[in-house]
C-alpha cells in the first residue's frame, strides 16, 4: 500500500504517556480499543478518505458530515460517546496570507481521534512531533488541549504582527507616501477583520466544551480549555484595539490629505489674486478700440510692464503684510 493510495495522511497509536508510533493501513484496520488511543489524520481532498469516513469509520452521519464538510465556522458538539470540534488556525503555508485561515475538524472518542482538513495545518504537525519526542498528549482530551494551544499560539503571533503594523503605520504617518499608507491600512484592517471573524465563534466553541459534561474531558482539561477561551478573548480585545488604532491612523491620513489639498488650493488662490490686477491691465490695454493710451508711444509697452510689475509687487507685499503667505 503506497502513501498516496491509503485513505489517511498518517495514523499514530498513542501510548498514554506522551509518546506514539506510526501505523500502516493494516495496523489501523486491526486496531482495538485495548491497544491504546488511535489518531487518524485525513486529507479531505482524497476520495478514499471520504469513502472510509462514510463506510468504515463507525461514526454517525452527523459526525461524518462535519468531518467531510467544506468551509465551516468554528463550533463544537458534544455527543454521548464523544465530542466534535471545528477549529480555525492561521494559514502558515507558503504563499498564503494570515487572514486566509484553515480549518481542522476533530472527532474525539475515549480511545480514538479523527482529524480532517483540506489544507496543511502546521499545528497538527506540532502535535505529531511532540508525540514522536515523547512530550505529546496523554489522552483524547489532552490532545484537544494541546492542539488548541498550538492554534492559539500562531493566532497570537499574527495578532501581535497586526499590532506592530499599526504602530509602524502611525510612526510613518509624517514620512510615508499617502498611497503606501492607504495600501498598508487596507491590509491591516482586512487581516484584523478576517481573523476576528473566526476567533469569536472559536471562543464560544471552546467555552461550550469547557462547560459540557463529557466523558472525554477531565476536570483539568476542561479548565485548560476555559483558559484557552480566555486567551482568545484577550486576542479579540487586542484585535479590537488594533482596529480602533487603525481607524485613528486612517482619520489622521484623511486629515493629512485634506490639509495638503487645502494648501494647494490656498497657493492657487494666492497666485490667482496676485495675477488678477495684471489680467485686468492686460485686458484693458488689449481692447481693440480707438483712444487707448500708449498705442503710438514707442515706450507704451515699457510703461504697461512697469505698471503690471508694480501691481504684482504691491499685491505680494500686501499679502505678506497680512501674513497670508
Query: Buried b vs exposed e over 41-66: b needs ≥16 C-beta within 10 Å?
Result: bbbbebeebbebbeeebebeeebbeb
**What DSSP line would sit under 186-204, residue for residue?**
HHHHHHHHHHHHHHHHHHH
- Whether 104 and 15 map to the same domain: the answer is yes
- For position 304, what pLDDT does the model report? 80
**What's 34's DSSP letter?**
G
Q: What is the mean pLDDT of residues 71-81?
A: 85
| Rounded distance between C-alpha atoms, residue 91 and residue 228, angstroms | 20
Least confident of 23-32, 93-102, 153-162: 93-102
Residue 106 in any domain: the answer is: yes
Cα dihedral value 212, 215, 218, 224, nearest 10 = -40
Statement to judge: residues 27 and 95 lie in one domain: yes
Shared-domain flag, residues 252 and 312: no
DSSP 3-state helix, strand, coil percentages of the chain (rounded to 5)?
60, 15, 30
pLDDT band at 248 (very low <50, low <70, confident <90, very high): confident
119 phi/psi in degrees, rounded to 5: -125, 155
289: domain CATH number? 1.20.58
Residue 230's pLDDT is 92
- Which residue is listed with cell 501674513? 323
Strand (E) positions, the chain? 10-14, 20-22, 37-43, 75-79, 82-89, 102-108, 112-117
For residue 152, the tally of other CB atoms under 10 A from its CB is 22
Q: Supply the CATH number for residue 161's domain.
A: 3.30.460.20
pLDDT score, position 298 = 78
Asked if residue 183 is part of any domain, the answer here is: yes
Same domain, 160 and 207: yes
Predicted TM-score (pTM) of the model is 0.75
240 has a pLDDT exceeding 60 = yes
Tell me: the pLDDT tens digits for 256-279? 778 888 888 888 888 888 788 888
Domain count for the chain:
2
Whether residues 18 and 163 share a domain: the answer is yes
Which residue range forms the structural domain that includes residue 308?
264-321
Residue 303: all three cell numbers together = 510703461
Amino acid at each position: 500500500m503506497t502513501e498516496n493510495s491509503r485513505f489517511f495522511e498518517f495514523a499514530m497509536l498513542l501510548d498514554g504517556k506522551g509518546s506514539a508510533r506510526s501505523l500502516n493501513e493494516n495496523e489501523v484496520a486491526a486496531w482495538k480499543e485495548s491497544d491504546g488511543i488511535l489518531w487518524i489524520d485525513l486529507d479531505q481532498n482524497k476520495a478514499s478518505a471520504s469513502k472510509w469516513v462514510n463506510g468504515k469509520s463507525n461514526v454517525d452521519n452527523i459526525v461524518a458530515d462535519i468531518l467531510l464538510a467544506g468551509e465551516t465556522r468554528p463550533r463544537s458538539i458534544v455527543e454521548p460517546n464523544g465530542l466534535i470540534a471545528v477549529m480555525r488556525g492561521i494559514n502558515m503555508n507558503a504563499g498564503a496570507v494570515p487572514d486566509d485561515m484553515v480549518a481542522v475538524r476533530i472527532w474525539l472518542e475515549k480511545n480514538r481521534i479523527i482529524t480532517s482538513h483540506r489544507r496543511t495545518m502546521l499545528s497538527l504537525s506540532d502535535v505529531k512531533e511532540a508525540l514522536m519526542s515523547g512530550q505529546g498528549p496523554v489522552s483524547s482530551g489532552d490532545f484537544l488541549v494541546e492542539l488548541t494551544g498550538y492554534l492559539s499560539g500562531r493566532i497570537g503571533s499574527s495578532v501581535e504582527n497586526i499590532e506592530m503594523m499599526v504602530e509602524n503605520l502611525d510612526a510613518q504617518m509624517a514620512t510615508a507616501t499617502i498611497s503606501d499608507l492607504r495600501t498598508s491600512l487596507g491590509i491591516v484592517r482586512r487581516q484584523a477583520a478576517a481573523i476576528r471573524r473566526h476567533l469569536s465563534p472559536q471562543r464560544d466553541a471552546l467555552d461550550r466544551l469547557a462547560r459540557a459534561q463529557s466523558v472525554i474531558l477531565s476536570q483539568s482539561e476542561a479548565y485548560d480549555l476555559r483558559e484557552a477561551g480566555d486567551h482568545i478573548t484577550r486576542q479579540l480585545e487586542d484585535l479590537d484595539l488594533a482596529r480602533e488604532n487603525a481607524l485613528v491612523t486612517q482619520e489622521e491620513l484623511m486629515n493629512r490629505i485634506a490639509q495638503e489639498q487645502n494648501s494647494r488650493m490656498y497657493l492657487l488662490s494666492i497666485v490667482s489674486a496676485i495675477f488678477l490686477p495684471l489680467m485686468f491691465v492686460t485686458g484693458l490695454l488689449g481692447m481693440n478700440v480707438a483712444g487707448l493710451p500708449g498705442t503710438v508711444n514707442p515706450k507704451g509697452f515699457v510703461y504697461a510692464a512697469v505698471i503690471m510689475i508694480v501691481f504684482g509687487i504691491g499685491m505680494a507685499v500686501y499679502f505678506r503684510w497680512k501674513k497670508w503667505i
